[in-house]
Structures are given as structure tokens and as C-alpha cells.
């Protein structure tokens, strides 16, 4: 097989393309051993940015070419990205890469890559130099990758790959790559902002047949180091990258790259790829990235340096934005479910109250029906509010519009029945008043009794209609006591019917009052859970004014005291936050101190109080060496736009020097940036 390969190479003297492209492939195939061969793709790489950095990309790998360089890098890519890379080689040959990264919000990131080296219409010559038939050559690598951030500083990745070579006959070989990316959080200024990358290519592999020999993907170890330095306030950055490759069938190689980024818009790169110099540049505009590289793709002598380009597109929103949107959608769905439950409960309440009201109405118990119709109207008003929330800003939602129309009809129906019940009761009451008044008074005392009883009954009815049941009971009880205190032998005939009516009314109002107190307490609790303590207190005070039993009074007064305490806390807490945001530190300290008098162990209020107090007492102080190192590191993170990391480091410095004005000021600026994000 070796002799046949050498004869082919000897006969390829009239075709520069064949002498170039096939030189590497045939030479590598001539190394067939039990271990396998070296892959062309391991030497060539993928993507103009990586090539411009001298193929030192294992510890960076932050675009779709990570499927080749280090699949662990996929986990740190925020947006969906697609990369297209193409390079012309000698004699109309070409080398290209297509990559896609697809991050998810919860299960890691996926990637796909396709690398292809191809040529066509190659002429074959015999030993005498006579041309004959033509043939095509192509070699492809398909990569299917997955990356996951398992810890804040550690990401792992896995790639399954299929390599296809088509020369005279075709064969496939399979393998798997394992990647790791570690970004430790060192306190040392020298060691901070360092990334370590590892990629074991073909750590799992299978054998295939190439001609008469066993062929498998060679194992290749890539180890990388990346260090970046932030320069100035404009997010300018200088990166240094170093990689070491150790292949199973080739000597180890070193790769070095450096990149200067101006405000993350323009980039310049210089690299050394195992002794071969490479140059690159890049530009970013919105979601579009263009990368350029000039250098040699293969080290074979027939390959000269050439120009290569990569185009990368960002697609859609970032993972952080998607997580926020998902959280908002979850909250919206939760509110929607709560409103739907409130709708069904409101419908049931409305239907029950209307049914009871109609039953009393048609039994001519008009006064009792007034309360039920009034409660039905309240339920209908609540239905209308829920229906409008469910409809939101969508005016063409048929189901939501139907709910609103249903609620409006319910409101109109309840109001109509309430007005009718009131009218019927007034007519009934007036007729009874005239009948009683028509009876001749036997004495002046009897006349006073009639006027007093009818007046008290009417007053009680008016309070009852307004749901002031305790006051209604009081008025009716006065009338009943007056009848009971009258000389039984001289009682007029009409008092018997009025007495039964008053007793029934008192019993009915007592039932309503008991239910109202429980309902008012439940309503106040619900309002308190939503933070509406003022309205809860108003409702509970109204309950006390209407009159309750001693047991109920103690329950209501206990809730009033608790809600008033929470209201005082909220008012002082809000006042403190406003003063804090306006940097009125003394006012903030006083407000949070009052809040803590109500809730001594409230963590957020305690934190605000301590922060405001520190700022009110802060002065410019000299920092000890350890504190200064943390302070400067936090400032660098702030300038790099890494505000969460900056805040964490600065708070550590603040614990050691809590009253240092410089530290506190940069913490406040960092918090402002986080809030803006």
C-alpha cells in the first residue's frame, strides 16, 4: 500500500493542485499504524478568529467554532449564533466551516459543525507522465456538540464527530471529544481573569478500514490558557492566549495569540501557529460579526498564505433575556390562573346571591332580598374588574370580551333587582304605615307607641339596606323593647304582627352580621397579603363601628394592631428607601431606625440601615494592601461591565473597611449599573 501511494505522488507532476492538496493527505495516510493517523482538520482548525490567533483558542472558544476547539465553550455563549467560514486554496480547492450554537435557558447549549476540504477534476497520470481519468477528493468532518455550565466557574462539553474521506473509495471514522473550561476567581491581580481550557479530541474512537489497514481517529490533547486585561473606561481589552497540542501520532506544537479589542467593536489579532505567523482583524456591528485572517492553513510547502473570512450572526435574544422573559411569562400565567379562579368564584357568588335574593323577593320578603341583591352587585362589580384584567390590552380576544360583557350584564341585572326590591319594600312599608296609622288611637300613650315603633323600624331598615346590621339591630331592638314594656292589656292589635316582624328582622340581621364579620376578616387578610394594609384597616374599623360580639371584637382588634404595625413599618421603610436613593443618608438612617423598632429582625431594613449609616459617617481613608487589591479588582470588573463580579469583590473590601468613602461610592455606581440592566 505504501508503494502504491508513492507511485501516485510521483505521477502527479503536472498538477500543482494535486501536489499541494494531496500532499498532506497522502503523507498522513502513509503513516498508518495501529494507533491510526493524524487528522488534517486538527492541523487546519476552524474560523477566521481562531486562525488569526495562531490556533490558540481552546481557553476562549466563545463562538460556534467551539464545537471544534472546545465544546465546553458553548455553555458560555449567550445568544444563538451561526458562523460561516471559507477559504480558497491552490488550484481551485477550498476549505470551509459552518457552525451553529444553540443555548437554552435550562438544559445547557447545543452545537453543530461541518468542516469540508474538497477539490475536483484531478487528472491521474501513469508512470510515463500520460494523463488519464480524473477523480475527486473530499474530506468532511461533522460535529454534534453539547456544553453545560456545571458551576459558576466550570463548564463541561462533549462532541460526537463523524469524519468522512473520499479518495478512490470512501470510509468513515467516528470519535468523541471531551472539553473543559475553567475560569477560577483568584484574588491575586496577576491571576485574575484567567481561563483554562482542555479538549481531548477522540478520547473515544472506533476503527474503520482504509484500503487494507485498520484506521482510527488519533487522540489529540489541546491545553489552553487565556488572560485578558481591561484598559481604560471604554471596555478596551487586551487578550493573551497560549495553547499546547499533543497528538498521538505527531510531535507536540505550541500556539500563541494576542487580541486587542477597542470597545468591543474593532479587533486586531496576531498569532503564531507552530512557528507560522498569522494576522487577523475583526469588526462588530449589532448582531453581525466579521472576522479576517491572513496566514497558512497547512504547513506543506505548496500552500502559501492567503486571505480568509468568517461571518457570524447573533440570532434572537440572550439567555439572560430569555430567562427574564420566561420568569415574566410564568408570573403572568400565575396571575392569569389566579384571575380565572377569581372569575369562577365570583360567578358562583353572583349566582348564589341572585338565587337567594329572587327567592325572598318573590316571597315578598323585600327587605331580606335587598341584602342578597346588594351582595350580588358587589360580586358582579368584582367580575367586571377581573374580566377587564383578563382582557388586558387585547381588544380582539373574543373570550375575554365575552367575559366583560357577561360581567356588565350581571352588574345591570343585580342593580335592577336591587332597585326593584328597595322600591317594593318602600311601597309595602308605606302601605303598612298607613294601615296602622288609620287605626284609631285609644290613648295618647298608644299614639306615642305607634309613632316610636314605626320610626325605629324604618330607621333600622335604612341601616339594614346599608349593611350596617349592628345599628339596624339596635334600632329594631329599641322598638321591640318598647312594645314589650307596654301594658299587655292595653296593647293595640297591630303590635302582634309588628313584634313578629321585628324579631325576624333582628334574627336576619344577626345572621348577616355574623357572616359579614367573618367575611370582613377574610377580606382584610387578603388585602394584607397584597400589602394593602390601609384598606384592610379601614374595613376592620368599619366592622367595629357596626357592632360585634366581645369575642369577635378581640379578634378584630388583634388584627388591627398587627396590620397597623406592618403599615407603620412599610411607611418608614419606603421613606427610608426614598431617602437612600436620593443619598439623604441621615434621613434614611432615621427612617430605617423607626422601621426596625417595629421589625427588629428585618434583614433588608437592617442592611439598608447599616449601609446608610456607613455612608453618613464615611470619609476618605487610606486602604491596607489587601483591601486595595480587592478595590482595584472591583474597579476593573466595573470597567469591563462585569457588575455582579465587581459588586461581590467590592463588598468584600467594604466588610474590611465599612466607612471608606471611595469603596462605598464605587459600590453605589455598580448597583446603579445593575439596576439599569
Question: Within 10 Å of residue 640's Cβ, how many Cβ atoms?
Answer: 18
- Give me the pLDDT at residue 15, please: 41
Is residue 637 packed enough to be buried (19+ CB in 10 Å), middle (13-18) or exposed (0-12)? Answer: buried
- Give me the pLDDT at residue 85, please: 93
Question: Within 10 Å of residue 107's Cβ, how many Cβ atoms?
Answer: 9
Query: What DSSP assignment string belongs to 30-45?
Result: TT--SS----HHHHH-
Convert the pLDDT of each residue in 114-129 to its tens digit: 998 877 665 555 555 5
d(C-alpha 563, C-alpha 543), whole Å: 15
Among 42, 38, 59, 116, which residue's Cα sits nearest to residue 84?
Answer: 116
Task: Yes or no: say if 483 and 491 are a contact pair by the CB < 8 Å rule.
Answer: yes
Question: Within 10 Å of residue 484's Cβ, how many Cβ atoms?
Answer: 11
Task: Yes or no: say if 60 and 280 are a contact pair by the CB < 8 Å rule.
Answer: no
Q: Is the pTM of this model over 0.85?
A: no
- Give me the pLDDT at residue 8, please: 39
Long-range contacts of the stretch 607-612 (C-beta < 8 A, 24+) = 608/573, 608/576, 608/577, 608/580, 609/576, 610/658, 611/580, 612/576, 612/579, 612/580, 612/585, 612/588
Mean pLDDT by 10 residues, the chain (677 residues): 38 38 38 44 83 92 93 91 86 85 90 86 57 68 93 90 74 86 78 88 67 64 90 77 86 91 90 89 92 77 75 88 82 84 88 90 86 88 87 68 87 89 84 70 74 85 79 84 78 80 81 71 78 80 69 80 86 89 88 88 87 85 83 81 84 85 85 77
Task: Yes or no: say if 35 and 80 are a contact pair by the CB < 8 Å rule.
Answer: no
Please give the helix or strand (H or E) that residue 223 lies within, else none. strand 220-231
Task: Yes or no: say if 122 and 113 are a contact pair by the CB < 8 Å rule.
Answer: no
Query: What DSSP assignment string belongs to 370-383?
Result: HHHHHHHHHHHHHH
Convert the pLDDT of each residue in 138-159 to its tens digit: 788 899 999 999 887 899 999 9
What are the residues facing 200 on neighbouring strands? 178, 221
d(C-alpha 379, C-alpha 402), whole Å: 17
d(C-alpha 245, C-alpha 361), whole Å: 92
Amino acid at each position: 500500500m505504501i508503494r502504491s501511494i508513492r507511485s501516485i505522488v510521483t505521477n502527479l507532476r503536472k498538477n500543482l493542485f494535486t501536489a499541494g492538496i494531496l500532499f498532506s493527505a497522502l503523507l498522513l495516510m502513509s503513516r498508518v499504524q495501529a494507533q491510526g493517523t493524524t487528522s488534517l482538520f486538527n492541523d487546519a482548525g476552524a474560523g477566521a478568529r481562531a486562525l488569526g490567533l495562531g490556533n490558540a483558542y481552546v481557553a476562549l472558544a466563545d463562538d460556534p467554532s467551539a464545537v471544534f476547539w472546545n465544546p465546553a465553550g458553548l455553555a458560555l455563549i449567550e445568544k444563538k449564533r451561526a458562523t460561516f467560514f471559507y477559504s480558497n486554496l491552490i488550484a481551485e480547492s477550498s476549505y470551509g466551516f459552518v457552525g451553529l450554537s444553540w443555548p437554552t435557558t435550562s438544559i445547557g447549549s447545543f452545537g453543530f459543525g461541518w468542516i469540508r476540504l474538497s477539490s475536483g477534476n484531478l487528472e491521474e497520470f501513469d508512470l510515463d507522465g500520460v494523463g488519464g481519468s480524473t477523480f475527486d477528493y473530499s474530506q468532511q468532518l461533522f460535529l454534534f456538540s453539547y456544553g453545560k455550565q456545571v458551576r459558576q466557574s466550570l463548564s463541561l462539553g462533549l462532541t460526537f464527530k463523524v469524519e468522512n474521506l473520499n479518495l478512490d473509495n470512501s470510509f468513515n471514522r467516528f470519535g468523541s471529544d471531551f472539553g473543559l473550561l475553567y475560569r477560577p476567581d483568584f484574588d491575586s491581580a496577576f491571576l485574575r481573569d484567567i481561563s483554562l481550557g482542555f479538549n481531548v479530541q477522540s478520547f473515544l474512537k472506533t476503527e474503520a478500514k482504509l484500503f487494507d489497514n485498520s484506521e482510527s481517529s488519533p487522540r489529540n490533547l489541546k491545553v489552553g490558557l487565556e488572560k485578558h486585561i481591561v484598559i481604560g473606561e471604554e471596555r478596551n481589552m487586551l487578550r493573551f492566549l497560549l495553547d499546547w497540542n499533543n497528538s498521538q501520532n505527531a510531535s507536540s506544537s505550541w500556539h500563541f495569540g494576542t487580541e486587542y479589542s477597542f470597545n468591543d467593536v474593532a479587533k486586531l489579532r496576531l498569532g503564531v501557529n507552530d512557528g507560522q505567523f498569522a494576522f487577523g482583524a475583526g469588526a462588530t456591528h449589532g448582531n453581525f460579526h466579521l472576522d479576517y485572517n491572513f496566514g497558512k492553513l497547512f504547513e506543506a510547502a505548496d500552500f502559501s498564505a492567503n486571505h480568509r473570512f468568517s461571518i457570524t450572526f447573533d440570532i434572537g435574544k440572550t439567555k439572560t433575556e430569555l430567562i427574564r422573559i420566561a420568569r415574566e411569562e410564568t408570573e403572568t400565567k400565575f396571575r392569569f390562573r389566579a384571575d380565572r379562579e377569581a372569575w369562577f368564584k365570583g360567578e358562583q357568588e353572583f349566582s348564589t346571591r341572585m338565587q337567594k335574593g329572587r327567592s325572598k323577593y318573590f316571597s315578598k320578603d323585600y327587605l331580606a332580598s335587598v341584602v342578597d341583591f346588594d351582595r350580588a352587585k358587589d360580586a358582579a362589580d368584582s367580575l367586571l374588574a377581573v374580566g377587564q384584567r383578563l382582557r388586558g390590552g387585547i381588544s380582539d380576544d373574543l373570550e375575554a370580551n365575552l367575559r366583560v360583557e357577561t360581567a356588565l350584564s350581571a352588574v345591570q341585572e343585580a342593580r335592577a333587582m336591587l332597585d326593584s326590591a328597595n322600591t317594593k319594600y318602600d311601597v309595602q312599608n308605606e302601605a303598612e304605615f298607613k294601615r296602622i296609622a288609620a287605626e284609631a288611637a285609644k290613648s295618647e300613650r298608644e299614639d306615642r307607641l305607634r309613632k316610636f315603633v314605626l320610626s325605629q323600624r324604618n330607621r333600622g331598615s335604612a341601616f339594614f339596606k346599608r349593611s350596617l346590621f349592628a345599628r339596624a339591630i339596635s334600632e329594631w331592638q329599641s322598638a321591640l323593647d318598647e312594645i314589650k314594656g307596654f301594658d299587655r292589656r292595653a296593647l293595640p292589635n297591630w303590635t302582634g304582627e309588628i313584634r313578629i316582624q321585628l324579631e325576624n328582622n333582628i334574627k336576619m340581621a344577626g345572621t348577616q352580621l355574623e357572616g359579614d364579620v367573618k367575611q370582613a376578616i377574610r377580606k382584610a387578610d387578603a388585602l394584607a397579603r397584597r400589602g394593602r394594609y390601609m384598606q384592610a384597616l379601614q374595613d376592620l374599623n368599619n366592622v367595629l363601628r357596626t357592632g360585634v360580639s366581645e369575642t369577635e371584637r378581640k379578634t378584630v382588634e388583634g388584627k388591627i394592631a398587627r396590620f397597623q404595625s406592618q403599615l407603620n413599618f412599610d411607611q418608614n421603610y419606603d421613606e427610608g428607601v426614598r431617602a437612600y436613593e436620593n443619598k439623604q443618608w441621615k434621613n434614611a438612617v432615621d427612617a430605617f431606625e423607626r422601621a426596625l423598632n417595629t421589625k427588629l429582625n428585618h434583614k433588608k431594613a437592617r442592611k439598608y440601615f447599616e449601609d446608610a449609616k456607613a455612608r453618613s459617617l464615611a470619609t476618605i481613608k487610606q486602604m491596607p494592601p489587601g483591601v486595595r487589591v480587592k478595590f482595584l479588582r472591583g474597579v476593573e470588573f466595573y470597567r469591563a461591565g462585569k457588575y455582579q463580579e465587581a459588586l461581590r469583590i467590592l463588598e468584600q473590601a467594604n466588610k474590611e473597611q465599612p466607612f471608606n468613602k471611595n469603596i462605598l461610592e464605587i459600590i453605589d455606581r455598580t448597583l446603579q449599573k445593575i439596576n439599569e440592566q
